[in-house]
């Protein structure tokens, strides 16, 4: 007799996972979804298998707020191993070039300001970017020549944490679409040497940071009902986005996807991006036009 099928739960919220080394983001989502028995799950920003750190996992209705987290600022701590470039720009790839040059601390710190602000970056060929519908890393692994266009990125700050002749550790705060592997490659080349990422840890994504994170091992050690204490509210993803608190009749209309007229002193006439709530619960994300809240995504 086969075991009874596990019933999937319609739960919603965020699990802020500290993804372990050598696990894909998809595998991590699958594991967390199974541990919580969630009917639906996704993640807010891929982490390479060899990277560790913050992988915000959206359960249920939280998946509708994923873009807000993906667009948030990210903080990475990473190590550049000096003297060798690899095909993947990290420790996974084969060495494709070497150099005997080892930069000193002063030289490294002197060029870091060149890697702040808004500038163009060439992504690694082993990336999830698509070329004519195919992933760049699939084409690269098949031995095809991969040509990617430079993309505009934003780096808010980059600082040296520790320096050694073999490798240096840095911390960067950056916007969506920044490839740390490319940063490491370009910093090394700017210093007249070669380098690749030998360690990568994401310390923050949007409103979520290491302080919020839980490991898979820790979740596995808990009883099912204890795990639920690690589910954070859907609304945490909307930190920094203006909130509109609705009354019961307005909330009922928005739940059906209808626009509502905002009333009361200080009600906005126009707003590009905001979210509506009732009793602290997310109802919808949307915008305000001519004094009406117009829902884009309704949360059930």
Unique residue bearing structure tokens 């370009």: 186
- Looking at residue 290, the DSSP 8-state letter turns out to be T
**175 to 55, 71, 98, 168, 215: CA distances (angstroms):** 16, 7, 30, 22, 25
CB 190 within 8 A of CB 182: no
Rounded CA-CA distance 58/106 in Å is 43
- Looking at residue 237, the DSSP 8-state letter turns out to be G
Q: Which helix (H) or strand (E) holds 217?
A: helix 216-220
- Looking at residue 175, the DSSP 8-state letter turns out to be -
Phi-psi map region of 225: left, alpha, beta (phi>0 left; psi -120 to 50 alpha): alpha
CB 41 within 8 A of CB 59: yes
48 catalytic? Reply is yes
3-state secondary structure at position 171: strand
Q: Which residue among the candidates 22, 48, 100, 228 is catalytic per the annotation?
A: 48
- Look up residue 134 and give its two tokens: 């195919």
CA-nearest of 38, 37, 41 to 29 is: 41
CB 26 within 8 A of CB 75: no
Would you state the torsion angle of the CA atoms of residues 76, 272, 252, 12, taken in this order, to the nearest 10 degrees?
-10
Rounded CA-CA distance 184/115 in Å is 10
Catalytic residues: 48
């Amino acid at each position: 007799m086969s075991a009874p099928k596990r019933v999937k739960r319609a739960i919603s919220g965020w699990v802020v996972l500290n993804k372990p080394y050598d696990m894909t983001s998809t595998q991590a989502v699958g594991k967390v979804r199974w541990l919580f028995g969630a009917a639906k799950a996704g993640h807010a920003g891929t982490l390479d298998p060899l990277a560790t750190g913050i992988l915000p996992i959206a359960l249920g209705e939280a998946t509708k707020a994923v873009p807000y987290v993906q667009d948030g600022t990210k903080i990475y701590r990473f190590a550049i191993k000096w003297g060798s470039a690899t095909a993947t720009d990290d420790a996974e790839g084969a060495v494709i070039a070497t150099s005997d040059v080892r930069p000193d601390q002063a030289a490294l710190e002197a060029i870091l300001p060149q890697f702040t602000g808004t500038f163009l970056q060439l992504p690694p060929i082993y990336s999830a970017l698509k070329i004519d519908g195919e992933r760049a890393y699939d084409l690269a692994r098949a031995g095809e020549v991969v040509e990617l266009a430079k993309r505009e990125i934003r780096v808010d700050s980059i600082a040296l944490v520790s320096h050694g002749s073999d490798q240096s550790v840095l911390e960067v705060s950056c916007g969506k679409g920044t490839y740390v592997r490319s940063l490491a490659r370009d910093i090394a080349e700017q210093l007249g040497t070669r380098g690749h990422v030998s360690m990568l840890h994401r310390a923050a994504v949007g409103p979520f940071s290491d302080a919020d994170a839980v490991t898979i091992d820790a979740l596995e050690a808990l009883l099912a009902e204890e795990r639920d204490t690690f589910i954070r509210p859907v609304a945490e993803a909307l930190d920094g986005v203006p909130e509109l608190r609705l009354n019961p009749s307005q909330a009922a209309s928005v739940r059906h996807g209808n626009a509502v007229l905002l009333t009361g002193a200080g009600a906005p006439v126009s707003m590009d991006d905001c979210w509506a709530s009732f009793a602290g619960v997310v109802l919808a994300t949307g915008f305000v036009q001519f004094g009406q809240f117009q829902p884009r995504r309704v949360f059930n």
